[in-house]
Every structure is written in C-alpha cells, then in structure tokens.
A and B are shown apart, each in its own frame.
Chain A
Amino acid sequence: MDAISQLQEQVNKIATIAFTTIGTLQRDAPPVRISPNYPESESAPPNPNPNPTPNPTDDAADFAMQPKLMSADLVKAAKQFDALVAALPLSEGGEEAQLKRIAELQAENSVVGRELEKQLEAAERELEEVRELFGQAADHCLNLKKPE
C-alpha cells in the first residue's frame, strides 16, 4: 500500500484504539468505594454463586492491567505513525519544481520517441528488402525465374 494510505490507516487505527480504550475502561470499571460503610463487610460476601476459585481480586488485578496494556498499545500506534511520517518519500519543495521536471521528461520522452520511430522505420524497410531478396532467391532456387 502506498505511503499516504498507510498513514491514513494508521490515523484511523489510533482513533480506534483511543475510543476503544476509553469505552472499555468506562464500561468495565469496577465501582469506586466512596463511603467506608458500604458494602457492608468483605468477610461475608453476600453473593450466592458457588464457584470458589475465581475470586474478585483476580478480576481486579486483570482489570488493573487493562489501562496499562491499552495505553501501551496507543503509544505504540503513535510511535508507528511517527516512523511512517519519517519514512515519507517527500521530495524537495514545490509544485513548480515537479511541474518543471514533468515538462523536461515529456520533452525528452518525445525526442526518444521520435528516435525510436526512425529506427523502427529503418528496420522495417530493411526487413522488406530482405524479404524481397529472399523471395527472389527462393524463386531462383526453385527455377521459377530464369536468371538474367
């Protein structure tokens, strides 16, 4: 893919990571403890689910990793954008410089084109001559034409 399209893709990727990060963190954040009275007590948890092993601290630990991972992703994407910008093959200034170069190249192209046409015509002429001579020689060999 060409450089500018890659840059555009990278910009969109940064945007996606940004809103995904903020959206996920907002949606999945555990509630914040505001007053020391609620919830009542942590020793007797009121949830009736019978799974002993996945304790809430594991989820909390996982969840604390999320912002770190996501922000690392964001910074990585931004660094990649910078790298892509540095790799841009942006030739030196000016629309005018480019247009001038295009005019030069067009002139050279037409010169070379005429040369090519000349060579081609000469080659085709020679080919016709050779064909005719070959025809004559072949006729002669087959004795269709008496040699004069």
Chain B
Amino acid sequence: MATATYPPPPPYYKLYKDYLQDPKSAPEPPPPIEGTYICFGGNYTTDDVLPSLEEQGVRQLYPKGPNIDFKKELRSLNRELQLHILELADILVERPSQYARRVEEISLIFKNLHHLLNSLRPHQARATLIHILELQIKRRKQAVEDIKRRREEAQKLLKESLETLEDTGAPLM
C-alpha cells in the first residue's frame, strides 16, 4: 500500500460507469470485516471487549473471581495508593536514587484502578438499558390511558350531541 501525502482516490470508480443503466454491472460493496483489521498502520479488533489486565502485561492487584465487590476493592486500592505515595516521599528523603521501584508500583496501582472502573462500564450500560426500557413502558402506558380517555370523551360528546339533535332537531332529519 503506497503511502503518499495526498493519495489519489482509489481507481474503482471506473467500474461504476454504467451504474445508472444497469445497477448490477458494478461490483457489490465489500462485506463487513470480521476479526482483526489494520487501519493506518494500527491493529484493531472488531470484538469490543475490555482486555484483561494480564493481556496487557499488568499485574492484577485485586482478587479475581466471579463477583467482585467493586466498592471494597476501589476503597482498598485507594488506601494502597495513599500508602505508596507516602512511601515515595519517604524514600525520596532517605535514599533518593531508589525512586524508580516506588514510581512503578504507584503506576501499577493507577492502572488497576482504571481497569476496575472500566470493567464497571458494561454494568452501567445494562443499568442504563433497564432504565430506558422502564421509561418507555411508562410512556406507553400513559399513552394508552390517554387514548382510552379521549375515546371515551369523544363517545360521550357524540351521545350528547345525538340527544340534543333528537330533542330539538327532529324535523331537520
């Protein structure tokens, strides 16, 4: 694939010369890509899932398992973070040349924190979906009630007007 500053448009346009007369003479659009693809030199995957920490080469500090107590883990990671910052300050006073290990540990904690927060997102998405469905059901029920009420009102009005007509306007009919 040639890389130029202003690349020309792809030459496929010539194939669509007779599209207006015969739509089948031109090639079909390409089917959707599955799996991984390369875009501008980067690899992307079509499977939108949050890669686990081990896949990114980062040690996981909070316990794995089916159901994680997010609040507890977030709070304990926060405490760990504060302790590590304090340790870093201490070590900068005592042995300043050994900061690297502490800084690494602090960044590890931050990566864990962000990964935990990101793994809350699917839960949030489902909760939003539930909320939207509930709202929609409420609105639909409200609409059903409204329509019923209006129909009854209309029936009532028609009956009343019929009675009025019968009372007064019999010779008109």
Pair from one complex = yes
| Interfacial residues, chain A to chain B (CB-CB below 8 A) | 2-4, 7-8, 11, 14-15, 18, 22, 26, 74-75, 78, 81-82, 85-86, 88-91, 93-95, 98-99, 101-102, 105-106, 108-109, 112-113, 115-116, 119-120, 122-123, 126, 130, 147
Instruction: Judge whether B144 and A105 touch: CB under 8 Å.
Output: no
Interface pair B126/A99, CB less than 8 Å apart: yes
Closest to A109 in B: B137
Q: Say yes or no: A11 contacts B137, CB within 8 Å.
A: no
Q: A8-B114, A85-B71 are in contact. Are A116 and B140 (CB under 8 A)?
A: yes
Known: A93-B67, A119-B148, A122-B151. A105 touches B137 (CB 8 A): yes
* A109 x B75 contact (CB < 8 A): no
Q: Sorted from nearest, which 10 A-B pairs have the closest CB atoms?
A: A105-B133, A98-B126, A119-B147, A112-B140, A85-B74, A116-B144, A116-B140, A85-B71, A11-B113, A123-B147
Would A11 and B129 count as touching, CB distance under 8 A? no
- Interface SS of B by simple majority: helix
Give the contacting residue for B173; candidates A7, A123, A147; CB below 8 A: A147
Interface size of B by Cβ–Cβ distance < 8 Å?
42
Within 109-139 of B, Cβ neighbours of A (below 8 Å) are at 110, 113-114, 117, 120-124, 126-127, 129-130, 133-134, 136-137
Residues on B with C-beta less than 8 A from A3 are: 124
Q: Tell me if A119 and B144 are in contact (CB < 8 A).
A: yes
A-B contact pairs, 29 of them (CB 8 A): A2-B124, A3-B124, A4-B120, A4-B121, A11-B110, A22-B89, A22-B92, A74-B82, A78-B78, A85-B78, A88-B71, A90-B120, A95-B126, A98-B123, A105-B130, A105-B134, A106-B133, A109-B136, A112-B140, A112-B141, A112-B144, A113-B140, A116-B140, A119-B148, A120-B147, A122-B151, A123-B151, A126-B155, A130-B154
> Given the complex, which residues of B lie within 8 Å of A26, measured CB to CB?
92
**Contact partners of A122 in chain B: CB under 8 A:** 151
Please indicate the chain A residues that have their CB under 8 angstroms from the CB of B108 in the complex.
none
Q: Is the CB of B159 closer than 8 A to any CB of chain A?
A: no
B residues less than 8 Å from A15 (CB atoms) = 110
Q: How far is the CA of A112 from the CA of B113 in the complex (A)?
A: 42
Tell me how far the C-beta of A91 lies from the nearest C-beta in chain B, rounded to whole angstroms.
Answer: 6
* Bound complex: CA A4 to CA B82 (Å): 21
**Interface check B37, CB cutoff 8 A:** no
Q: How far is the CA of A86 from the CA of B70 in the complex (A)?
A: 10
